[in-house]
Chains A and B, each alone.
Chain A
Amino acid sequence: SQTIHQWPATLVQPVGSPLSLECTVEGTSNPNLYWYRQAAGRGLQLLFYSVGIGQISSEVPQNLSASRPQDRQFILSSKKLLLSDSGFYLCAWSGPGGSDSPLHFGNGTRLTVT
């Protein structure tokens, strides 16, 4: 069966520090991969998605970036964190149908920028 791993679970970083969040998927090939951010008590905002290795689409311009160095690995990065980057970051994968396929989420990373 397919599983998705996301780490770390929690992270406290000072303003201006770099960020690297990692997500890996097991049990499926060529998944579509997504990074979402959830503000407290709110819905999810799509940040990036990827349909293949090295292919990244950005939905929201900001100081975050994403990379997909391997088929089942998705990384969210920042060179310099802002206070506004605090939030709950969720990685997800779907089958080839894009938004016509259900999303399968990791357990998220709670990021606090101080």
Chain B
Amino acid sequence: SQQGEEDPQALSIQEGENATMNCSYKTSINNLQWYRQNSGRGLVHLILIRSNEREKHSGRLRVTLDTSKKSSSLLITASRAADTASYFCARGAGGFKTIFGAGTRLFVKA
């Protein structure tokens, strides 16, 4: 499969804790993107990190990329109940095809 592998498939944490989601891929990339999807809704773009970047921040989100290990992680700090959603990594490998993983379902308990 060309899809990335996300780990874990599901994650349940308490409000205020940090949430870490991991993504691995098999082929070369131009960039790695993270998206969020609330139940029954479209995906919302969170962060795009290019292959020559190692870390990127946006508010409470921190994304790292290790191209030697073909992996990326998304860290959400001080999680809130409103962060409950599915999170997807997607890789851009050139052309017009952005390839999505199966996602991690995050549940933040208030």
Partners in one complex: yes
Binding site for B on A (CB under 8 A): 6, 32, 34, 36, 41-44, 46, 49, 51, 57, 59, 90, 92, 98-100, 102-108, 110
A57's nearest neighbour on chain B, judged by CB, is: B96
For A32, list chain B residues within 8 Å (CB): 96
For B41, list chain A residues within 8 Å (CB): 107-108
A98 touches B45 (CB 8 A): no
Known: A43-B88, A100-B31. A110 touches B98 (CB 8 A): no
Could you tell me the distance in whole angstroms from the C-beta of B73 to the nearest C-beta in chain A? 18
Could you tell me the distance in whole angstroms from the C-beta of B88 to the nearest C-beta in chain A? 6
For B103, list chain A residues within 8 Å (CB): 41-43
A106 touches B94 (CB 8 A): no
Known: A43-B88, A100-B31. A49 touches B43 (CB 8 A): no
> Which bracket fits the contact residues of B?
20 to 34
For A90, list chain B residues within 8 Å (CB): 42-43
For B30, list chain A residues within 8 Å (CB): 99-100
Q: Mark B12-56, 1 if CB is under 8 A from A, else 0.
A: 000000000000000000110101000011111100100000000
A99 touches B98 (CB 8 A): yes
- 29 intermolecular pairs with C-beta atoms under 8 Å apart: A6-B42, A34-B96, A41-B102, A43-B3, A43-B100, A43-B101, A43-B102, A44-B100, A46-B97, A46-B98, A49-B96, A57-B96, A90-B42, A92-B43, A98-B96, A99-B30, A99-B31, A99-B92, A99-B93, A99-B94, A99-B97, A100-B31, A102-B48, A103-B33, A103-B45, A103-B90, A105-B42, A108-B40, A108-B42
For A42, list chain B residues within 8 Å (CB): 102-103
Report the separation of the CA atoms of residues A104 and B90 in the bound assembly, to the nearest whole angstrom.
13
Could you tell me the distance in whole angstroms from the C-beta of B103 to the nearest C-beta in chain A? 6
